[in-house]
């Protein structure tokens, strides 16, 4: 079973897509805002990255990072993870959402890696998506982060930000991904994944974007920008 995040059906959108010069300006602003951007998931090998990304579906990276040290200490390889089994993996990850299903998937994909790939992580999206619990977004993250391929993983943060800013609007994750693949210049494609996730996670938030502190405020096409909050009045003594 796949465990990819659900796609919002009606994200707030810019009135149009950015032009190519506007795309460059917007991404340049984000690059300066996040110069050292990288995944916030903790991992040491392509296998531990794959497992961490599978666990992160519908869960925060912080919650995953709290359970993976013990998990990877017990099972750093597909062989060890398969030997650990569903129940023991489940005990180690039970504080994250959907942990029972994720435990089964992690063990199952480990067995698939051993049976079909000699215990190695495949380097293609098609092969990765055949693994238990691995959908398109997870496959793209592994290809991008572990193997330096210019993929554009679209999670809920990227989906929201691309629609809201005008970087690449679309009603589905795959539609947004296809737009971003043709609109983002190839030299910026791999790093832009991290810029977009971090910007969406910490600045362009779902309920209310914090536009007043956005480095790309001027290049973003979203018309309903959130103004700087007024300071709360302080009470003075009588």
Which residues are designated catalytic? 137, 155
Give the closest residue to 39 by CA, choosing from 134, 145, 148, 196. Answer: 145
Hunting for tokens 């392509």 — which residue is that?
46
Give the closest residue to 95 by CA, choosing from 62, 73, 47, 133. Answer: 62
- In sequence order, which residues have a C-beta less than 8 Å from that of residue 12 and are 6 or more positions away? 160, 163, 164, 222, 224
CA distances 128 to 47, 142, 201, Å, are 12, 9, 26
Q: Which two tokens stand for residue 75?
A: 């099972």
- Between CA 139 and CA 148, with CA 143 as vertex, the angle to 5 degrees is 165
CA 62 to chain centre: 13
Give residue 187's region: left, alpha or beta (phi > 0; psi -120 to 50). alpha
Alpha carbon distance, N-terminus to C-terminus of the chain: 64
Number of alpha helices (DSSP H) and beta strands (DSSP E) in the chain: 10, 0
């Amino acid at each position: 079973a796949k465990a990819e995040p659900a796609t919002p059906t009606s994200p707030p959108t810019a009135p149009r897509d950015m032009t190519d010069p506007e795309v460059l300006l917007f991404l340049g602003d984000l690059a300066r805002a996040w110069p050292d951007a990288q995944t916030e998931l903790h991992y040491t090998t392509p296998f531990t990255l794959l497992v961490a990304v599978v666990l992160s579906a519908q869960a925060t990276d912080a919650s995953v990072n709290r359970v993976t040290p013990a998990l990877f200490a017990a099972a750093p390889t597909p062989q060890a993870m398969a030997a650990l089994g569903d129940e023991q993996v489940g005990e180690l990850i039970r504080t994250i959402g959907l942990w029972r299903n994720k435990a089964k998937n992690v063990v199952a994909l480990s067995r698939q890696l051993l049976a079909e790939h000699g215990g190695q992580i495949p380097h293609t999206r098609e092969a990765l998506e055949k693994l238990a619990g691995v959908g398109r977004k997870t496959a793209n993250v592994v290809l991008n982060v572990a193997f330096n391929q210019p993929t554009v993983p679209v999670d809920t943060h990227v989906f929201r930000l691309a629609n809201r800013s005008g970087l690449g609007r679309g009603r589905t994750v795959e539609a947004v991904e296809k737009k971003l693949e043709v609109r983002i210049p190839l030299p910026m494609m791999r790093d832009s994944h991290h810029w977009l996730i971090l910007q969406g996670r910490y600045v362009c938030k779902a309920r209310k974007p914090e536009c007043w502190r956005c480095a790309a405020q001027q290049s973003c096409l979203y018309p309903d920008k959130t103004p700087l909050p007024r300071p709360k009045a302080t009470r003075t003594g009588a």
